[in-house]
Amino acid sequence: MNNLREESIWEEGIYQLERRDKVKGGPGGISNRQAQQLANRTRFLLDMILALNGGVLPPVPGAPTVGAGDNQLIHPPVSTVTLTGTATSESGVIVSHYWSMVSGHGSPVIVNPELMTTQVTGLELGVYVFRFTATDDSERSASADVIVWVLPLADLTRQGITQLSNAIDSYAEDMAATPKSLDNLRQHIKKLIEEAEGEK
């Protein structure tokens, strides 16, 4: 099954099928002419809306306002996160909400998918996207996504996420020095040298 190819043009009129017209489908077929003209008008109007709204579709009037919280980063052996959604409706009452997994691997468990706040357990190394969806009493729905990264910490034997540090007196093997810490170290060494030379 193929879809009509939409063109962003304003059709001046919509063709009226005549009794003498023979059924003909496919591109340019008389049976598809009305649908093609309406599709072109719709694409034209959509492009106008996007142009006026900075390339973004305006929210559906009356749809709930939904949030899924901040993106999260955890490191093994931690395998659980807490997700907290928010949902409000100016024109109705929120009657249901639920969490679902959009992408990821393994078999993580959303403990209480119908609650605004829930834990997700069984996360493995990788990237997950979870979606919070809310519906109001007029059956208007809206969704928001949150990303969860599960990445290992780096050490001397494996790659991973490295925590940065400004310390100049650390012996940690799972942290990386920042340019600021190196500059502080140079200043510290310079000061020690100056003090040693002053004592001669």
User: In this predicted model, what pLDDT tens digit does every residue of 7-27 receive, in sequence order?
Assistant: 888 888 887 878 887 878 777
Q: Where are the alpha helices (DSSP H) in 9-149?
A: 33-52
User: In this predicted model, what pLDDT tens digit does every residue of 155-187 receive, in sequence order?
Assistant: 656 555 556 667 767 666 666 667 776 677 677
User: With contact defined as beta carbons under 8 Å apart, do 146 and 82 qualify?
Assistant: no
Q: Which CATH superfamily is domain 65-150 in?
A: Immunoglobulins (2.60.40.10)
User: In this predicted model, what pLDDT tens digit does every residue of 126-165 receive, in sequence order?
Assistant: 999 999 999 998 888 999 999 999 988 766 565 555 566 6
Strands of 40-192, DSSP E: 65-67, 72-74, 81-84, 86-88, 94-103, 109-110, 117-121, 126-136, 141-150, 163-165, 175-177
- Kindly state the helix (H) or strand (E) to which residue 180 belongs, with its residue range: helix 179-198
- Angle (nearest 5°) at CA 134 between 130 and 137: 165
Give percent above pLDDT 90 in the chain: 36
Give the start-to-end residue ranges of the domains of the chain: 1-58, 65-150, 163-198
User: In this predicted model, what pLDDT tens digit does every residue of 104-121 receive, in sequence order?
Assistant: 989 999 999 999 999 999
User: Which tokens is 122 given?
Assistant: 């069984």
